[in-house]
């Protein structure tokens, strides 16, 4: 890694328009040294981008999470704000985030760094009205599934299940939002599949994404329709 924060003021680029595009990346685990978790989030939840040095940039989400990216600032800005939508798969930054940035995670900045925080809160951003229908369970171990409906705009973030990364996705809703009496839940679908179907529905402008058949467990326990 070259350069440093102390040698120059970081460049900042703030997102001005909401976007339903889904980004997948490896984010630093809070309070853990060298720990990372894969997560997916809407591009509209990005607060701002900044340059760490000529080879490393970062994006800070509205909830304060900062994700270092092994990518120059201009390239990251173009990747996030001028994406190639021909693939229809969103933006996958998993290969340029996480372990590859090494000790860059120690440079994570607090929310107070954000020079555009006040402006970012002045106006509400437009959100997609996509509604998801799926089977989910509310506890990591006790898998009692129920069929729920949830608005995409009520989703804060989603990531691979900590113990069943290849088969389930964890979904955290925004503060105050609930679906089937749950503020967070688990879906029996891999993260990359969940991201793919949501991106496809957003791209097609669908009002409803019905994942009932794809998330219905083969041997459900106490499943509620």
d(CA 87, CA 84): 7
| Average pLDDT score over the chain | 74
More confident residue, 9 or 163: 163
Four-CA torsion 93, 99, 103, 109, nearest 10 degrees: 40
Radius of gyration of the chain (CA): 18
pLDDT band at 144 (very low <50, low <70, confident <90, very high): confident
Domain residue ranges of the chain, discontinuous segments joined by +: 5-120, 131-224
Q: The pTM is what?
A: 0.49
Whether pLDDT at 37 is above 60: yes
Per-residue pLDDT tens over the stretch 149-163: 999 888 888 888 777
pLDDT band at 195 (very low <50, low <70, confident <90, very high): confident
Q: What SS3 class is residue 50?
A: strand
Per-residue pLDDT tens over the stretch 41-57: 888 889 889 888 777 88
State residue 87's pLDDT score.
56
d(CA 115, CA 140): 38
State residue 220's pLDDT score.
55
Q: What SS3 class is residue 97?
A: coil
Q: Which helix (H) or strand (E) holds 148?
A: strand 144-151
Q: Which helix (H) or strand (E) holds 61?
A: strand 57-61
Q: Which helix (H) or strand (E) holds 192?
A: helix 191-204
């Amino acid at each position: 890694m070259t350069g440093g924060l102390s040698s120059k003021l970081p460049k900042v680029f703030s997102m001005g328009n909401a976007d339903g595009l889904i980004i997948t990346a490896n984010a630093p685990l809070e309070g853990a040294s060298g720990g990372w978790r894969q997560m997916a989030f809407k591009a509209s939840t990005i607060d701002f981008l900044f340059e760490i040095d000529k080879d490393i940039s970062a994006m800070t989400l509205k909830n304060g999470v900062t994700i270092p990216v092994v990518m120059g600032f201009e390239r990251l800005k173009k990747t996030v704000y001028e994406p190639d939508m021909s693939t229809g798969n969103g933006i996958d930054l998993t290969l340029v985030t996480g372990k590859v940035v090494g000790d860059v995670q120690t440079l994570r900045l607090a929310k107070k760094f954000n020079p555009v925080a006040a402006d970012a809160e002045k106006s509400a951003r437009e959100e997609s009205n996509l509604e998801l229908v799926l089977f989910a369970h509310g506890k990591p171990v006790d898998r009692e599934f129920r069929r729920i409906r949830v608005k995409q705009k009520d989703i804060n973030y989603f990531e691979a299940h900590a113990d069943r990364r290849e088969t389930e996705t964890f979904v955290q809703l925004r503060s105050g939002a609930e679906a089937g009496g749950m503020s967070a839940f688990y879906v029996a679908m891999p993260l990359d599949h969940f991201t793919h179907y949501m991106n496809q529905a957003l791209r097609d402008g669908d009002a409803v994404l019905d994942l009932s058949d794809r998330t219905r467990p083969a041997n459900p326990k106490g499943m509620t329709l």
